[in-house]
A and B are shown apart, each in its own frame.
Chain A
């Protein structure tokens, strides 16, 4: 965990020090490593017979829990977004 965070900070430092050069292909590299990660995850899931056997029952349940969680978090974020907007408008009025 800590090594992963350390990698990010060393990336920030490296990117900042080299800011005279624009790394235009960095987003392509990012996507590539996401592909690798998801592929490896797939191999691990696919290579585990326990998971594959229970996929048709647990899979449906998993999609339901995940979908509901996403919806709940999205609504909470929307409420926060609205409260931030309201607060900003109030401040703008006060400034006038």
Chain B
């Protein structure tokens, strides 16, 4: 919980720096976050490769858990039915396009801005950033009330990078590779799902 709050603290600090123009957004144009992401994924890889237990404990998990990404996607889509009913000023197509970002804010917001305009693109960015931040905040509660898989599912596409340390901490070390696998599958599905809902 404290770790998640610090992460969100850095996000808020970033917003403050951006709003006050302390650090102009142009100074960071794309590359810094790519380098940070590369470095992060390298560290994630090292911690997996360096720990022989992580692979052997993954092999002991039941085979059926490979269905987790499908559960994630279907669960979100089921929830979007309710979202669609309550937000009657949004079309079904808009709700599903925004919701199918699964926390992959950078890509989904670019796609949705292109197909549906700036307002929806901004909503997609905020929704998917919120999904990541809320997952981090709710991590211990999710595991407590819905079991160890729920945290991985809630994180959507972010479970192979930013949410991974929380998964290791709250769900358990044996779920690290499942978490990476789920993030990987959802990550690859996001561009197809978002384009599909934008163009139907």
Interface residues of A (CB under 8 A from B): 1, 3-5, 7-19, 22-23, 26-27, 29-31, 33-48, 50-52, 54-55, 58-59, 61-84, 87-88
| Bound-state Cα–Cα, A13 to B123, Å | 39
Residues of chain B contacted by A61 (CB below 8 angstroms): 87, 123, 126-127
Give per-residue flags for B164-179: 1 if the beta carbon is below 8 A from chain A beta carbons, else 0.
1100000000000000
Residues of chain A contacted by B187 (CB below 8 angstroms): 1
A77 touching B147 by the CB < 8 A rule?
A: yes
Partner of A11, one of B6, B49, B76, B128: B49
A77 touching B50 by the CB < 8 A rule?
A: no
| Bound-state Cα–Cα, A40 to B12, Å | 10
The minimal Cβ–Cβ distance linking B179 to chain A, given in whole angstroms, is 12
A77 touching B24 by the CB < 8 A rule?
A: no
Partner of A42, one of B11, B44, B156: B11
- Return the chain A residue nearest B31 by Cβ: A40
Beyond A73-B153, A88-B62, 18 extra complex contacts between A and B, CB < 8 Å? A8-B42, A15-B46, A40-B36, A42-B13, A43-B25, A44-B33, A50-B122, A55-B126, A62-B127, A66-B127, A66-B128, A71-B79, A72-B76, A73-B71, A73-B72, A75-B150, A80-B67, A84-B62
Residues of chain A contacted by B102 (CB below 8 angstroms): 69
| Bound-state Cα–Cα, A47 to B57, Å | 44
Residues of chain B contacted by A83 (CB below 8 angstroms): 64
B64 touching A87 by the CB < 8 A rule?
A: yes
- Return the chain A residue nearest B184 by Cβ: A5
Partner of B49, one of A16, A33, A66: A16
Residues of chain B contacted by A1 (CB below 8 angstroms): 187
A23 touching B46 by the CB < 8 A rule?
A: yes
- Return the chain A residue nearest B120 by Cβ: A58
Partner of B44, one of A30, A51, A82, A88: A30
Residues of chain A contacted by B150 (CB below 8 angstroms): 73-75, 77-78, 81
| Bound-state Cα–Cα, A87 to B153, Å | 20
Using known A-B contacts A12-B49, A42-B14, determine if residue A33 contacts B40 with beta carbons closer than 8 Å.
yes
Partner of A15, one of B45, B62, B82, B148: B45
A7 touching B14 by the CB < 8 A rule?
A: no
Residues of chain A contacted by B42 (CB below 8 angstroms): 7-8, 10-11, 14
